[in-house]
């Protein structure tokens, strides 16, 4: 599962390592992508895990702090995405 943040950002560089999850001091946040094509808004996909390595599913926008150039930015929305599984199957019939 992936969480998606949409934030209004004025410009500059997003400090990915500044993304934090409150009350999860020993947890882990992994940013998987940052989409800037709708600038000045941007989308950040990330995975958040608690201190036991379990995915955190019940985050609210108020639970996430996003910084750009050391200034806190407003998180407009937060949603969980369940990407589908992709696989490739190759069959080689070979000579009969």
pLDDT tens-place string over residues 1-59: 545 554 444 333 343 434 444 444 578 888 888 888 988 888 888 888 888 888 888 88
**pTM for the full model?**
0.57
**pLDDT given for residue 4 in this prediction:** 52
Break the chain into its structural domains and give their ranges. Answer: 2-81
- Give the C-alpha separation, 53 to 40, whole Å: 33
**pLDDT given for residue 96 in this prediction:** 66
Q: Is the dihedral of CA 55, 39, 17, 19 positive or negative?
A: negative
Q: Which residue has the higher pLDDT, 81 or 7?
A: 81
């Amino acid at each position: 599962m992936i969480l998606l943040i949409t934030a209004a950002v004025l410009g500059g560089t997003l400090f990915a390592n500044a993304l934090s999850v409150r009350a999860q001091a020993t947890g882990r946040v992994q940013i998987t992508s940052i989409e800037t094509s709708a600038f000045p808004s941007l989308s950040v996909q990330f995975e958040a895990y608690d201190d036991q390595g379990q995915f955190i599913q019940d985050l609210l926008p108020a639970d996430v702090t996003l910084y750009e150039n050391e200034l806190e930015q407003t998180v407009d929305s937060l949603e969980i995405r369940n990407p589908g599984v992709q696989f490739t199957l190759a069959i080689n019939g070979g000579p009969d």
